Amino acid sequence: MTSSTGSEIEVPEALVSWHRRFFGEGGRAWIEAAPNLAADLLDRWQLRADGTPTSGAVALVIPVRRTDGTPAVLKLQPVTDETVGEPDALRAWGGNGAVRLLAHDATTGSMLLERLDADRSLATVGDDLVALQHLSELLARLSAVAAPSGLRRLSEIGAEMLGRVPRVLTLVPDPQRRLIQACASALAEVLPDTGDRLLHWDLHYGNVLAPHPADPREPWLAIDPKPLAGDPGFELLAALHNRWQDAVATGNVVRAIRRRFDLMTDALGLERGRATAWTLARVLQNALWDAERNDAMWNTEPDRLIAQTLLDTPPH
């Protein structure tokens, strides 16, 4: 898709479909404006396109070169509650374990980022537990940083979730209702102390990339944070989902979940009971989203098994 002015920037159809489906008229308008915005930023920041644009669920990512030939990427995305804090988080990390922020346009939310190796994520590491160890060590480094002021707080997210629970309980069948109630109870117990660490909130294998071959400064770097201020225990669920087929293939999914959970809590130095409660809170978040929209975006089977395993496993 190109702009009406004939810009040569192509917006991937997957991104077009996603915005139309989940962002309605606002999403359609943003997609229409994206090629012109990209052309303006290429000119303003003196960049030249250097490859085919790609996308995630929300952002348009354009490989570029700077005037000195340095590779970078131009990332365009709507300014939302989830994306507004990304530049602040990247500045706080300062390239330590995360992609470097090179420039930021506050009005549009657009960013110029260090280019990494998009073909080498943690998903390419053959041994699942080795990959999870890398991710956990990276997560420990990222969450060692205090959250900058102005970010959304986990206390706000948690309270808002609990406020939605009574209505959702009227929308779901009994087995799911009991799970939601158990997760909500766990969240209520830890909500008075939500912490102040800088959370990535979406650290899975696909959001951890190898550096660009031209600058192999670290083995692995995080991208695409949806930052929060809170407790690192809220970070674990996305990674517990990674390569779910590998967990199933062990023949004992419960043991595989426990092994993954133990590895992550040990690497991050987390108290297991609190980490369990915050992981159940993430399951609750997914369950609320799916029930309210009657549209399961998340794979609910891993969530159910992870939650049941943690609920059945006493803290130690």
Collect all residues with Cβ–Cβ distance below 8 Å to 18 and sequence separation of at least 6.
Answer: 27, 57, 58
Helices 253-268/300-312 angle, 10° precision: 70
Give the helix/strand (H/E) hosting 198: strand 197-199
Q: CA-CA distance, 100 to 94, in Å (whole number)?
A: 6
Q: Choose, from 202, 215, 224, 246, the residue flagged as catalytic.
A: 202
Please name which of 63, 52, 93, 56 lies closest in space to residue 78, comparing C-alpha atoms: 56
- Cα angle, residue 115 at apex, residues 113 and 121 outer, rounded to 5°: 115
- Annotated catalytic, 262? no
3-state secondary structure 18-58: HHHHHHHHHHHHHHHHHHHHHHHHHHHCCCEECCCCEECCC
**Amino acid identity at 202:** D
> Torsions phi, psi of 60, nearest 5?
-100, 130
Distances, alpha carbon 51 to alpha carbons 8, 19, 69, 200, 211, in Å: 12, 23, 14, 28, 17
Q: What is the set of active-site residues? A: 202
